[in-house]
Amino acid sequence: MIAHQRQQFINGARTSLSPAGMVLFLTFFAYGALVASSGLPLELGLGLTIFVFAIPGQVVLVDEIARGSSLIAAGLLTTLTAIRLLPLAVSLLPVIRHPSNPKWMTLAIAHFIAVTVWLQSMIDLPKLPSEHRASHCLGFCLGLLLFTSVGTVIGFYAAQYLPSQLAAATLMITPIYFFLSLFQTAKRKTDKYAFALGGTMAIPLTIWEPNFALIGSGLIGGTIAYLMTKRREPNE
């Protein structure tokens, strides 16, 4: 049994070498470059990668701190990006749950729940017997943690030592990645409207007052999108 679980853990860790792992490496590389370009220390960048492990929240937090926002505003915006982890956890954990799983294992896996882990796990795990899923998933998550930490460190130094135009290009990765990911994750009508409204509203708001742009476009644009689709018809 234990040998089986070790084998599952190793298989899972191997899965982190998949395209999903590559995408994460690239995004955390770009995030490391952002941390350096914002004049913040590596410990902060790496600490957030390990303890937050959710790239939208990390980018928001770093960008807000670099702009000199208050810690309360930065924390509030970060938490607004993180609430979306709740439904991911709610739908993923029943797939992993098994009576033989120790409690710490569930909590450890929960720490890594984010869009990429969720997407890949929902594809891979249902194919495995349920008593093997948690070990497999934990191996996958720890493999990703290694990747993303290394990506953060390399990105941090790349931004400092690359010629300025290449360094500028590394800073384009995050906005492009988020923008394309939104096409992937915004499947429902409400989310599509939110994507369009939030992006459009942010243009004048950023020009007028960058520090208000995220909270304004997020809360107002998101709420309008929600109300528009709620009144007309059910989602989908």
Partner 1 sequence: MSNDISVWLIVAIGFLATEPWRWAGVVFSKGLSEEGELIAWVRAVSTALIAALVMRLLIEPPGSLENTPIILRFLSLLSATIAYFLFQRKLVLSIFIGLATFLLLIYLNGLMGSPL
Residues 116-155 close enough to bind partner 1 by CB under 8 A: none
Residue 168 touches partner 1, criterion: CB under 8 A: yes
Cα torsion 182, 186, 191, 193 to 10°: value is 70
Q: Are 174 and 62 in contact (CB under 8 A)?
A: no
CB of 12 to partner 1, least distance (A): 19
How near is the Cβ of 17 to partner 1 at its closest, in Å? 14
User: Residue written as tokens 């009508």?
Assistant: 189
Determine the residue type at 44: L
- Note whether 70 binds partner 1 by CB under 8 A: no
Closest separation in Å from C-beta 134 to partner 1: 13
Compute the least distance from the CB of residue 61 to partner 1, in Å: 5
User: Does position 230 bind partner 1 by CB under 8 A?
Assistant: yes
Q: Which CB sits closer to partner 1, 9 or 118?
A: 118
Least distance from partner 1 to the Cβ atom of residue 142, Å: 16
DSSP strand E in 61-150: where?
none
Neighbours of 177 (CB within 10 A): 17
Closest CB to partner 1 among residues 13, 36:
36
Minimum CB distance to partner 1, residue 98 (Å): 13
Cα 65–69–75 angle (5° rounding)?
70
Indicate the residue type of 223.
T
Element (H, E) at 194: helix 189-208
The footprint of partner 1 on residues 169-228 (CB under 8 A) is: 169, 171-186, 188, 190-191, 193-199, 201-203, 205-207, 210, 213-219, 221-223, 225-226
Angle at 28 between CA 26 and CA 30, to 5 degrees: 70
Nearer to partner 1, 4 or 70 (CB): 70
**Tokens 């018809």, located at residue:** 233
18-47 positions binding partner 1, by CB under 8 A: 19, 22-23, 26, 33-34, 36-41, 43-44, 47
Cα 19 from Cα 38, distance rounded (Å): 28
Give the contacts of 91 (CB within 8 A, at least 6 positions apart).
118, 122
Among 4, 17, 79, 122, binds partner 1 (CB under 8 A): 79
Within 80-109, which residues bind partner 1 (CB under 8 A)? 80-91, 93-94, 97, 106-107
